[in-house]
């Protein structure tokens, strides 16, 4: 079955610290992978995507993610977190269709 797992429901980091949000997927074909961010009361904003090629992808707001096929993972990273990064982050997988399967999300809190 196709699925996305985000094992961390809630993460708290200090401002300026590094961040890694985990994402594991299960998909029978070549996966297309996405990270979205959602601020309270807002829709989803696309941070970055992986379709093929270089397994390290850069996104907006200083985020990057690395695709590791052997581990079925697509973890999101940021070297230095800002208070404005506090939000909920969703990993998603797609492929042969335009239907996205989302993980349950990771809520990020940033301490001053």
Partner 1 sequence: KAGVTQTPRYLIKTRGQQVTLSCSPISGHRSVSWYQQTPGQGLQFLFEYFSETQRNKGNFPGRFSGRQFSNSRSEMNVSTLELGDSALYLCASSLAEGGTSYEQYFGPGTRLTVT
Residue 98 has a CB neighbour count (10 Å cut-off) of: 7
Distance CA 57, CA 111 (A): 27
The nearer residue to partner 1, 9 or 70, going by C-beta atoms, is 9
CB of 37 to partner 1, least distance (A): 11
Binding flags for partner 1, 2-41, as an x/- string (CB under 8 A)? ------------------------------x-x-x----x
Give burial (CB, 10 Å; 0-12/13-18/19+) of 73: middle
| Positions in 82-111 near partner 1 (CB under 8 A) | 90, 92, 94-105
Residues that bind partner 1 (CB under 8 A): 32, 34, 36, 41-46, 49, 90, 92, 94-105
């Amino acid at each position: 079955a196709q699925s996305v797992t985000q094992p961390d429901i809630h993460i708290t980091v200090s401002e300026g610290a590094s961040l890694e949000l985990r994402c594991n997927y299960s998909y029978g074909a070549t996966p297309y992978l996405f990270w979205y961010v959602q601020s309270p009361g807002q829709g989803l904003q696309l941070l970055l995507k992986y379709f093929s090629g270089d397994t390290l992808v850069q996104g907006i707001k200083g985020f990057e993610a690395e695709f590791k096929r052997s581990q079925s993972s697509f973890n999101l990273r940021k070297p230095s977190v800002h208070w404005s990064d506090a939000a909920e982050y969703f990993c998603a997988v797609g492929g042969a269709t335009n239907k996205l399967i989302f993980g349950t999300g990771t809520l990020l809190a940033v301490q001053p």
